[in-house]
């Protein structure tokens, strides 16, 4: 995966990205990874998972996990509004949703206008960033969706909870991890 770093499919018009906002920062995700965008629906919490995994939703009969992107990026939490959306992503065979403040538009960014990830200057951890896209004066943070919910991380989560020594008898809040 590492060598995939900035390997976008290059076409004449550049790569298409779906852009969305968290606070006042604009992010982009390759359109090919986006299955659909839906409004916020009722989420069932799943115990024993980190806070950023909000739970599961019913997407036309399929149970789909959703993660809150603000929580994932350790940003300040915001109230869900009627503009809050869930972007359903399909990465390899995994389907999951990300909760974002608002979805903006679909834009094309040519390879020339994509710069490597700067080591600073963004409020989120660089491991989630694939590159920075420039459209005129706007700067769009292009996300590495594979990293948002990676297999290794999930595996660790499950294993950590199988290990009985990690549980301690404390008050209820602690069990939420």
Interacting residues with another protein (CB under 8 A): 9, 42, 44-49, 53, 55-58, 60-65, 94-96, 149, 151, 154, 158, 161-162, 164-169, 172-176
Pick the closest to residue 128 from 84, 73, 85, 89 (CA basis): 73
**Intra-chain end-to-end CA distance of the chain, in Å:** 29
Q: What is the nearest approach in angstroms of another protein to the Cβ of residue 173?
A: 7
CA–CA gap between residue 143 and residue 115 (Å, rounded): 13
Task: Indicate the residue among 41 and 115 with the shorter CB distance to another protein.
Answer: 41
Task: Indicate the residue among 93 and 127 with the shorter CB distance to another protein.
Answer: 93
DSSP for 13-29, please give it.
T-EEEEEEEETTEEEEE
Long-range contacts: 129-132, Cβ < 8 Å, 24+? Answer: 130/5, 130/6, 131/6
Task: Indicate the residue among 18 and 57 with the shorter CB distance to another protein.
Answer: 57
Q: What is the nearest approach in angstroms of another protein to the Cβ of residue 67?
A: 10
**Residue 131: HSE in the Cβ half-sphere, 13 Å Cα cutoff:** 19
Q: What is the nearest approach in angstroms of another protein to the Cβ of residue 177?
A: 8
Task: Indicate the residue among 102 and 166 with the shorter CB distance to another protein.
Answer: 166
Reading the block at residue 63, the tokens are: 């149970």
Q: What is the nearest approach in angstroms of another protein to the Cβ of residue 79?
A: 19
Task: Indicate the residue among 24 and 92 with the shorter CB distance to another protein.
Answer: 92
Reading the block at residue 4, the tokens are: 């995939």
Q: What is the nearest approach in angstroms of another protein to the Cβ of residue 63?
A: 4
Q: What is the nearest approach in angstroms of another protein to the Cβ of residue 72?
A: 15
Task: Indicate the residue among 3 and 173 with the shorter CB distance to another protein.
Answer: 173
Reading the block at residue 73, the tokens are: 């990026």
**Residue 56: HSE in the Cβ half-sphere, 13 Å Cα cutoff:** 10
């Amino acid at each position: 995966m590492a060598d995939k770093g900035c390997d976008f499919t290059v076409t004449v018009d550049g790569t298409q990205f779906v852009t969305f906002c968290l606070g006042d920062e604009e992010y982009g995700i390759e359109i090919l990874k986006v299955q659909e965008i839906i409004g916020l629906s009722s989420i069932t919490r799943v115990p024993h998972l980190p806070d950023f995994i909000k739970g599961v939703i019913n997407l036309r009969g399929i149970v789909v996990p959703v993660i809150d992107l603000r929580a994932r990026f350790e940003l300040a939490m915001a109230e869900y509004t009627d503009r809050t959306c869930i972007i359903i992503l399909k990465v390899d065979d995994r389907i999951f949703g990300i909760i974002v403040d608002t979805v903006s538009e679909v834009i094309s960014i040519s390879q020339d206008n994509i710069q490597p990830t700067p080591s600073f200057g963004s409020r989120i951890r660089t491991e989630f960033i694939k590159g920075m896209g420039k459209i005129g004066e706007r700067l769009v943070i292009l996300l590495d969706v594979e990293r948002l919910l990676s297999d290794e991380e999930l595996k660790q989560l499950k294993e950590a909870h199988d290990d009985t020594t990690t549980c301690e008898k404390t008050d209820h809040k602690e069990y939420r991890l």
